[in-house]
Homo-oligomer: A and B are copies of this chain.
Amino acid sequence: MIVHLKNNVTTDEAAKLAVQLKAVHIKKPGQEVLVTPSKLQELDDSIMDKVDSFFPMTSDIQLASKDYRKDTREVTVGKVTIGGNTNNTLVIAGPCSVETEQQITESATFLSGMGIHALRAGCYKPRTSPYSFQGLGREGLELLAKMREKFGVSIVTEVRDATHIEDVIEFTDVIQIGAKSMYDHGILRRCGKANKPVLLKRGFGTTLQEFVQASEFILSGGNENVILCERGIRTFETKTRFTFDLCGVSFLKEHTNLPIILDPSHAMGYAYGVPDLARASVAMGVDGVLIEAHPTPRKAWSDANQQLTHPEFKELYGTLQKVAAAVGMKIV
């Protein structure tokens, strides 16, 4: 249950109530909020004088639920806003990894030239083998910051584990939590205290229920700027890298109040399928798409198969605008 306390309830009083109700306490002076386990369906009369309003919930999808807020939350990424009444579909693009200054500059030049606002590239790669390229780390973050300064793009980059989260928060505009880190309490709780938007990717073995519950760790920490990202789940089908769960996206649109961004590149794993899947993503009427593009995909240091060339990306981008218009959205 989500409990909004009255204006005159102090943070200290709220903290005591939180202990009493075994609730998570979101400190917002003037509007303290408690979130109890969802099992709690009724409040005791004795505390009702401190309660402004309350929302009984059917599961631990609480702050993210449409039963709590009917509208989609607005989240601002640099100069653009998604969610709410904006009808904006944000295109985030860039290479899988920051490799060299030349490579990332080439990407940023091309993408900002096309009007793309958000540049994505990884510096801490969650590779499954210790014997592959692991990312440039802090050096990569500094290169991304340079690109922001030079080209005015917002930066979206991934935190891999809790040991370098402060670095990522320092340099990025949007903190990306990757599929393999989605259950990481160290990351989730720290993001709850950050004042930057968080792009939370669904784990490939993660149910929708668990996925949204992971966002609750951030929301209940006080950070309301969470974007959900579907990027494919693992199934028995191996001809493609993952299985893009657009039924799940329909569920998220119907039941949660968070903006949704789709990542067809990681879902498919092969560049040939990305344009069709990106168009299908935009046709879903979601708040954004994330597309990997690389100056020379063949030579990429990671995920070489799935990144579009710049000409391919350019051609796709034009058609995305048409599809967005067909469903009443606007590419930003």
Interface residues of A (CB under 8 A from B): 23-24, 35-38, 60, 62, 124, 126, 128-132, 134, 160-163, 180-181, 183-187, 203-210, 213-214, 216-217, 220, 232-251, 253-254, 267-270, 272-273, 276-277, 279-285, 319, 322-323, 325-327
The answer to whether B254 touches A132, judged by C-beta atoms less than 8 angstroms apart, is no
Across-interface contacts of A134 in B (CB, < 8 A): 185
Given contacts A129-B213, A210-B128, contact A247 B243 (CB under 8 A): yes
Across-interface contacts of A185 in B (CB, < 8 A): 124, 126, 134, 160-161, 163
Across-interface contacts of A130 in B (CB, < 8 A): 24, 35, 60, 213, 216-217, 220
Across-interface contacts of A232 in B (CB, < 8 A): 247
The answer to whether A204 touches B205, judged by C-beta atoms less than 8 angstroms apart, is yes
4 additional contacts, CB 8 Å, given A244-B246, A253-B276, A323-B326?
A243-B245, A282-B283, A319-B327, A323-B327
Which among A35, A205, A268 has the highest number of chain B CB atoms within 10 Å?
A205
Number of copies: 4
The answer to whether B284 touches A272, judged by C-beta atoms less than 8 angstroms apart, is no
- 21 CB-based A-B contacts, threshold 8 Å: A24-B130, A37-B129, A128-B209, A131-B216, A162-B162, A162-B186, A235-B236, A237-B248, A239-B248, A241-B247, A242-B247, A244-B246, A246-B246, A246-B277, A249-B276, A250-B273, A276-B285, A279-B327, A280-B284, A323-B323, A323-B326
Across-interface contacts of A208 in B (CB, < 8 A): 237, 239
- The residue on B at minimum CB distance from A236 is B234
The answer to whether A247 touches B277, judged by C-beta atoms less than 8 angstroms apart, is yes
Give the distance in Å from the alpha carbon of A245 to the alpha carbon of B322 in the complex. Answer: 24
The answer to whether B213 touches A186, judged by C-beta atoms less than 8 angstroms apart, is no
Choose among B207, B240, B323 the residue that contacts A237 (Cβ–Cβ < 8 A). Answer: B207
Which among A36, A241, A268 has the highest number of chain B CB atoms within 10 Å?
A268
Across-interface contacts of A243 in B (CB, < 8 A): 233, 235, 243, 245, 247-248
